Amino acid sequence: MTQYQSNQSGSEGATLRALARRHPLVVAPATTLRETLYRISQEQVDAAVIADSATGLPLGLVTLREMLHVISFEGGGLEEPVAAHMIGAPLTLAADAPTHRAKVMMAKNGVDQLLLTEPDGRLFGMVTQADLLGTGAASDRTLVTAISAARDIESMTRAADRIRRRGAELFGSGMGTEPFCLWVSGLNDLIGIRVIELIEDEFDLPPVPWCWMVFGSEGRLEQTFATDQDNGLLFVPPEPEQTQAIRDAFLPFAQAVNQALHHCGFERCRGDVMAGNPEWCLSAAEWQGRFSAWLRVPEPEAVLRSTIFFDFRPLYGSSEPVDRLRDWLIGEAPGHGRFFHALADQALSTSPPLGWAGRFSYDRNRAFPHTIDLKLQGARYFTDAARLWALKHGVWATSTAERLRAVGLARWYPGEDTAAEIEAFHLIQRFRIQQQLQAKDPDAINRVDPDGLNELHRLMLKESLKQARKLQSRLRQEFGL
């Protein structure tokens, strides 16, 4: 295996439902501590779920450590019901929720177990930190602790710097591209969450459901060393006529968060796609209206500006309204053929930088001649196609690799071809990350000179761009372009 091959952990591409390898120990509320301890010992587990016998709904959680503490130091009797000492309302997540959301939730709350539920609320299973942690993450809990312990923006900035240094170490040691991007995105999520928590305390925010959303590479969980802000805010007003007043109340808070994130090293978006911009601080109805307009009237300029918004996911606050927006979108989007035709046309507006006889071709950038922008003329081909097909086939996932996997199954596409596309995408991402670590000029962070690569890496880059060309051929055939 070369250093440019992916070395994924088994859990990174899996769903939470697939990660729950065994059903947890479940006991009734009236079960005694003695019986619960005995069953924990027999089944060799660390915790038990207390669930309603009739409905299967989880009521609480109790760990071996907590039971021993209750008995040894609090005078708890072995014949007492376990329900008297359980953790009520334990953290739960839908079994089909993204794995990444579970990682962030567990790290943020400092817990080792998370219950998974079915859509009707019944218990499906349980995942632990051991199930979720990928390569390198188990040794980096000190970073999570530093983020959680931060009490001001200066300490947050120091924590962000530590993450970047640690990331460079992990990448240099050969960590696979997909787990690396997930590692960076997960810790950046925690930074964003903690920054919002710190700023939130300084404002008297409206008492309505609201959520901070992220778009673009952050929404796709594909952040690297060079990333800017792409975010927005969604709120749910009690009455439509209160929308503007609530927006006005949220904007100073959102602008303060944008400034704090900038201070932590997350550059302000050049296109001003940030929650502090009134254009992207919207009610749930307004967000749905924006997406509806993009679907119904796919003007080329509007489509170009809107694509990153379709990568949205919730970061902080009430995620339910954002999940409802996603549910609406994946049900609504497939019926808009003109929109997909416009997306395909945009995705085909530039060709992979391969010329006659498969040689590299170059743009006319005078500042960086003989280079290829591997963001615009590399990774973009895969993200654009994956986004289009995911929307067309009602796929919930936002990351490019997960979208390609899910769409490949939905379209009965050969598994080896999907694997080749994902590998090509990750190879291009790896070249980009390597360049970001080396470049001194911020305008050159995605530009690679093929002559600066060794013969093997030039061949690998060329083969990856050929995969991009195959993707474009499929789009042309599908949409007659």
CATH 3.10.580.10 segments of the chain: 16-132
Task: Give the mean model confidence (pLDDT) for residues 397-401.
Answer: 90
Q: Which among 9-13, 137-141, 297-301 has the top mean pLDDT?
A: 297-301
Q: 235-241 contacts: CB < 8 A, separation 24 or more? A: 235/206, 235/208, 235/209, 235/210, 235/211, 235/281, 235/282, 235/283, 235/284, 236/208, 236/209, 236/210, 236/283, 236/284, 236/318, 236/321, 237/208, 237/283, 238/208, 240/283, 240/285
Do 400 and 382 meet the contact criterion of CB atoms below 8 Å apart? Answer: yes
Whether pLDDT at 132 is above 80:
no
Q: What is the pLDDT of residues 136-180, one digit of tens each?
A: 444 567 788 788 888 888 988 998 888 888 889 889 888 888 888
pLDDT in the model for residue 13:
42
Query: Alpha carbon of 210 to those of 234, 254, 275: distances in Å?
Result: 5, 12, 12
Whether pLDDT at 231 is above 80:
yes
Higher pLDDT, 15 or 316: 316
pLDDT in the model for residue 60:
84
* Residue with token string 């509007």: 302
CATH 1.20.120 segments of the chain: 339-479
3-state secondary structure of 16: helix
CATH of domain 16-132: 3.10.580.10
CA atoms within 13 A on the CB side of 180: 26
Whether pLDDT at 12 is above 80:
no
Whether pLDDT at 47 is above 60:
yes
Higher pLDDT, 115 or 476: 476
pLDDT in the model for residue 465:
95
Task: Give the mean model confidence (pLDDT) for residues 76-92.
Answer: 80
CATH 3.30.460.10 segments of the chain: 137-314
List 234's β-bridge partners, or say none: 211, 282
pLDDT in the model for residue 139:
52
Higher pLDDT, 157 or 358: 157
Whether pLDDT at 53 is above 80:
no
pLDDT in the model for residue 78:
78
Domain boundaries 339-479, CATH class: mainly alpha
CATH of domain 137-314: 3.30.460.10
pLDDT in the model for residue 284:
97
Q: Which among 2-6, 157-161, 396-400, 461-465 has the top mean pLDDT?
A: 461-465
Task: Give the mean model confidence (pLDDT) for residues 18-41.
Answer: 80
pLDDT band, residue 18 (cuts 50/70/90):
low
Higher pLDDT, 298 or 207: 207
Q: Can you point out the beta strands (E) in 73-137?
A: 87-88, 92-94, 113-117, 123-128
pLDDT in the model for residue 5:
33
Do 132 and 9 meet the contact criterion of CB atoms below 8 Å apart? Answer: no
pLDDT in the model for residue 133:
52
Q: How far is residue 156's CA from residue 152's CA, in Å, rounded to a whole number? A: 6
